[in-house]
Amino acid sequence: MLHRIRDHISNCYARAADARRLADATSNAERKADLLLMEENWKRLAQSYELTERFERTLLVRSREIDERTDWQRAASAPFDRVLELAVIGAAGIDTIAFPCRRVLKGWVAAETSEPLNVQPTHWREWCDGAVPLSSRVRGLDPAGTRRAGNVALLPR
């Protein structure tokens, strides 16, 4: 993904340079103003892509660091039809789901009820019977998963 963003950034700066060249070559004041505005807009778009690129690099590095320090695996590698602990790992940290889950062909479900989840997990690890997830202790979650503190709803629908 990052190499595509780099291509977009280069393209935006090239278009900005083209608009500047055309503005410098014209004697029509109205056209010059339009072309200079176009140059500025292309530069702003390039800067927006650069910000996105920096954000994606930060998330990528953070995700790799978490993978190296913990036993979390990427969600795409999760086995089907096994009881697992799931998490959403992002810039804010690790938010675990407070109840056991299972991967099925149509996505993710609560292991005990087969209710579909209303969240897309990013990571998984083996569920330890009787263990209360860390987030339950830290954020005051009900171990049965009936309540959730925080800004991400991780409950079954």
Please check whether residue 14 is in contact with residue 27, taking contact to mean a CB–CB distance below 8 angstroms: no
Predicted pLDDT at 135: 43
Q: Which residues pair with 103 in a beta bridge?
A: 108
Count of positions (residues) in the chain: 157
pLDDT digit string (tens) for 5-46?
Answer: 889 999 999 999 999 999 999 999 999 999 999 999 999 999
Cα 110 to chain centroid distance, Å, stands at: 22
Burial class (CB in 10 A: 0-12, 13-18, 19+), 139: middle
90-112 pLDDT tens trace: 767 778 888 999 999 989 999 99
**Beta carbons within 10 angstroms of residue 64's beta carbon:** 10
Domain boundaries defined on the chain:
2-69, 73-139
Per residue in 39-95, pLDDT (tens digit) is 999 999 999 999 988 888 877 766 666 555 567 888 999 999 899 999 888 767 778
| Residue-wise burial string across 43-60, b where 16 or more C-beta atoms lie within 10 A, e elsewhere | bebbeebbeebeeeeeee
